[in-house]
Amino acid sequence: MDIVIDALKDTLIVFPFILIIYILIELLESGSSLQRGRNSLQGPLAPVVGAATGLIPQCGFSVMAAKLYDKGLIRTGTIMAVFLATSDEAFIILLVSSPLSAAAAQSILPLMFIKLFVAALAGYLINLVVPDRHAETTPLYSPEGEAYSCGREHSGKSAASIYFLEPLLHALKITAYILIVNLVFGYIIAEVGEERIAAGLIGGKYFQPFITAAVGLIPNCASSAIITETYVQGGIMFGSCVAGLCTNAGLGLVVLLKNVKKLKRNILLIIALYSIAVLVGITTNVLAVALGWA
């Protein structure tokens, strides 16, 4: 019962902040923000722009990028930059957990920097290797290209639904995931002990990124929530968290996989995404241990 009460307390503290952030995201997404982002994903700065837009805590940009890539309007490196930078709910969870967790507070900026750097670098390198798909430089606009937070469409919905009900439902869903992780880790810590858990984590610096990167491929906001909250609770190392969030492209992967005619291409993209994420995760874990940060 003590474990349940503590988990409920920790979860309820962050719920109001999660709700406020989701309402703000919906307000910021109104208008032409995604249309401007769509136009910027073409041109020489596209990988950098794609990486920057991917950092925004929603997966609408990954959905938009996947649609543009399927139409041959952006290059392979650009969509890879968007996918690697996308983290879905991660930054929201870290932000609201910062007052309660030193690990969360200290990891927000390093996580953003690593994902931005890796995404942009990978984007440019891939564009050098993969032939140009004759991406157009003219702006694209069509209803089919519209995407909002986690792929939700806004057309035909009332303002109350868009700016309060949907953020409330989304916040409740993410809070439920956080509660589950809090309950699980509260029980594990009580039964196993913090010292034995910490000892196990050090030996897992090479293997954790393989697991978390695979979890990150799950096209659901639950994956980013579970990976991030598990890190906040001390269940995985920072590099393992980075690996899981680098593959966390959200519904963008679903959009790509709908095109069965390009199945081989899509599988190669997913393999590349997974491989880069694991490499970055292992490298980050090794450096963290060497520098005494883990």
Q: What is the pLDDT of residues 63-115, one digit of tens each?
A: 788 888 887 888 999 999 999 999 877 888 898 888 878 888 889 999 999 99
pLDDT confidence tier of residue 254, bands split at 50, 70 and 90: confident
Q: What total number of domains does the chain contain?
A: 1
Number of C-beta neighbours around residue 100 at 10 A: 12
CB-based burial of residue 158 (10 Å sphere; 0-12 exposed, 13-18 middle, 19+ buried)? Answer: exposed
Domain encompassing residue 221: 2-290
pLDDT confidence tier of residue 213, bands split at 50, 70 and 90: very high
- Between 213 and 21, name the one with better pLDDT: 213
Which residue carries 């690990």 as its tokens? Answer: 103
CB-based burial of residue 47 (10 Å sphere; 0-12 exposed, 13-18 middle, 19+ buried)? Answer: buried
- What is this structure's pTM? 0.77
Q: Given this model, what pLDDT does residue 16 score?
A: 85
